[in-house]
Amino acid sequence: MHGRQRAVAGAACGLAAVLLLATAGPPAAGPGGFVVRGARVFDGTRMLGVSDVLASGGKIAAVGRDLSVPPGTEVVAGAGRTLLPGLIDAHAHSLGDTLRDALVFGVTTELDMFADARWAAKVKADQAAGGRLDEADLRSAGTVATVPGGHGTEYGFPIPTLTRPEEAQAWVDARIAEGSDYIKIIVEDGKVLGRSFPTLDRATVAALVAAAHRRGKLAVVHATTLAAARMAIDAGADGLEHLFVDQLPDPGFGRFVAAHHAFVVPTLSVLKDVAGEGAGAALVRDPRLAPYLDPDNAANLELRYPERPGKTAIYAPAPAAVRQLAAAGARILAGTDAPNSFRLLGRRTLAHATEPDSIAAAIAAIRRSEAFGEDPNCRPKSTANGSGKMSSCPASMPSRIANATSRGEVFGSASSRAMSVSTGPA
C-alpha cells in the first residue's frame, strides 16, 4: 500500500482505539463499519483538514468530505476533534493497568522493554484473539539480557542470566520461545547512578546481537554512558534505549550512530528525573493532562528518583546527543519508560517524553520543513458518561511525536489489530 494511504489507515484505526473509551463497545467491525464525520484529520504526515473517515472491515475504506456511506453505518461525530494515528511508545514497561492507561493518552502500541514474559505472552495471545480492546497493543522484549547480579536482577524475581558469548544463542532462543518480539540487552555498571553492577562485556553483547539477528530479531541495548552507547552500536545493536547522562557526546557521536543505521529511543523525561531535574509535578498541574490522570498516576508523577552518594548523572548530554542525532539524520523514536514502576515514577505521557526543543530539532531534521500547527481549539473533553477518558484532542507536541514515532516501523510488523502509527511517505 502507498505510504500515505497506510498513514491514513493508521489514523482512523487509532481513533477507533480511542473511541472505545467513549462508547459502550467497539464500533461495528466488518462490512457495516463506522464513519467519523467532520474531524480534523492528521494522517501522520500532514493535516488533511476537516474530513470524514470511513472504516470498514477493520480498514480505512475512504477519506474525504461528505462521504456517502452504506446504510446502517455507525456515525461518530468528530466535529471539533482531531483524528490522528495512534502513537507508539517505543520504551515502556507493561504490567497491571499500564496498557489501558496508555490508550487513554492516545498510545495504541506499547513497545515493552522488560516485562514478565509469561504475562506478556498471555496479553499478546488475548490481543491476537481479538480481546483487550480497551488496551494498547503490546510488543515485548520479555526478560532482559544481563549478568548475575546485574541491572535487571534487583527486582525480586528470578532472571535467567548469562556471562559468556557461548551462552548467547541459547539465551536468545529461550527468550524467543517465551515470546520475546525483540531482544533487550543491559549494559550498565551503575556508577553514574551511584550504584554498582557487574555487566555484560562487549564480546557477549556482540554475541547476543548476532544471535538475535540470526533469528530475525532486533537487538536493543540499555546504556546510560557514552562509552556504553558507543560499545553497543559498535557491537551491532539495532537501537539504543536511553541516552547517556555521564558526559556530553563527542563531536562524532551522531554521525557514528547514523552510519550504523541504528535508532535511538532517548527517553529524555526519565533521564531528566535520574539527573534530579524531573518535572513530573508540573505535569500533574497541567490542566491539559490533569483530567486524564488517575490519583495513582498523579501521585507517582510527584515522586523523584532517589539521590544516592556518588550519583553523578547530568541531563545535558541527552538533549545534546538528540540534536547531534537529528543533525546526522539518525532515527529517533519517542519513548517514555513509563511507568517505570520499579522506581514508581509514574506514567510519563508522550507529551513529556521528549524535550520540546530537542525533539523539535529532531523533527526538523526528519521532516525538514514541515510545520506542525498548534491547535488552540484543542481541549480535553469529557466523555458522555463523565469518565473523562475520551482523548481525541492531541496537542501539537504529540502530533510531532507521532511523526517521529512513525519511524517505529523499524520494530517490524505493526499491530495485529492495525492500530499503530503506520509509516510515513513511502
Sign of the CA dihedral running 252, 255, 261, 262: positive
Buried b (16+ CB within 10 A) or exposed e, 285-305: eeeebeebbeeebbebbebeb
Smaller CB distance to Zn ion: residue 54 or 338? 338
Q: Does 393 bind Zn ion (CB under 5 A)?
A: no
> Site mask, Zn ion, residues 51-90, x = CB under 5 A?
----------------------------------------
**Which of 60, 113, 211, 365 touches Zn ion (CB under 5 A)?**
113
Q: Which is nearer to Zn ion, 229 or 390 (CB)?
A: 229
Which candidate, 127, 9, 23, places its Cα nearest to that of 59? Answer: 9
Is residue 124 within 8 A of residue 42, CB to CB? The reply is no
* Residue nearest to Zn ion according to CB distances in the complex: 337
* Residue 248 grid cell: 556530553
Region from 43-51, 302-310, 330-338, 415-423 binding Zn ion, contact rule CB under 5 A: 330-338
Contacting residues for 308 by C-beta, under 8 A, at least 6 apart: 193, 194, 195
Q: Which is nearer to Zn ion, 86 or 335 (CB)?
A: 335
For Zn ion, give the closer residue by CB, 4 or 184: 184
Minimum distance between the CB of residue 114 and Zn ion, rounded to whole angstroms? Answer: 6
To Zn ion, the closest distance from the beta carbon of 337 in angstroms equals 4
Binding flag, residue 188, Zn ion (CB under 5 A): no
Choose one: 113-121, 311-319, 350-358, 418-426; the region binding Zn ion (CB under 5 A).
113-121
Judged by CB, which is closer to Zn ion: 43, or 101?
A: 101
Report how far residue 225's alpha carbon sits from residue 253's, in angstroms, rounded to the nearest whole number: 12
Region from 55-63, 105-113, 174-182, 323-331 binding Zn ion, contact rule CB under 5 A: 105-113
CB of 4 to Zn ion, least distance (A): 33
Rounded-to-integer distance, Cα 380 and Cα 395, Å: 10
Compute the distance between CA of residue 404 and CA of residue 366 in angstroms, rounded to an integer. 8
Whole-number minimum distance, CB 304 to Zn ion, in Å?
Answer: 17
Q: How far is the CB of 286 from Zn ion (least distance, A)?
A: 23
Contact between 337 and Zn ion per CB under 5 A: yes
Give the residue with the Cβ less far from Zn ion, 225 or 422.
Answer: 225
State the Cα angle at 321 between 316 and 324, rounded to 5°.
135
What is the closest distance, in whole angstroms, from the C-beta atom of residue 210 to Zn ion in the complex?
24
- Smallest separation (angstroms) from Zn ion to the CB of 123: 18
The residue among 87 and 274 lying less far from Zn ion, judged by its C-beta, is 274
Question: CA distances (Å), 423 to each of 7, 57, 347, in order?
Answer: 6, 21, 26
Helices (runs of H) and strands (runs of E) counted in the chain: 13, 13
Number of residues that bind Zn ion (CB under 5 A): 2
CB of 285 to Zn ion, least distance (A): 25
Helix, strand or coil for residue 222? strand
Q: Does 110 contact Zn ion by CB under 5 A?
A: no
Name the pairing type of β-strands 219-222 and 183-186. parallel
Q: Which stretch binds Zn ion (CB under 5 A): 73-81, 107-115, 321-329, 410-418?
A: 107-115
Distances (CA, A) of 415 to 14, 402, 422: 11, 15, 9
Choice between 63 and 87, CB closer to Zn ion: 87
Scanning 4-12, 203-211, 285-293, 334-342 for contacts with Zn ion by CB under 5 A, the matching segment is 334-342
- For residues 135 and 337, which CB has a smaller minimum distance to Zn ion in the complex? 337
Smaller CB distance to Zn ion: residue 112 or 355? 112
- Does residue 264 interact with Zn ion by CB under 5 A? no
For the purposes of burial, counting CB atoms within 10 Å of the CB of 222, is it exposed (0-12), middle (13-18) or buried (19 or more)? Answer: buried
Cis check: omega of the bond before 380, within 30 degrees of 0: no
User: Are the CB atoms for 305 and 274 separated by under 8 Å?
Assistant: yes
- In DSSP terms, 183 is beta-bridged to 219
Instruction: List contacts with Zn ion (CB under 5 A).
Output: 113, 337
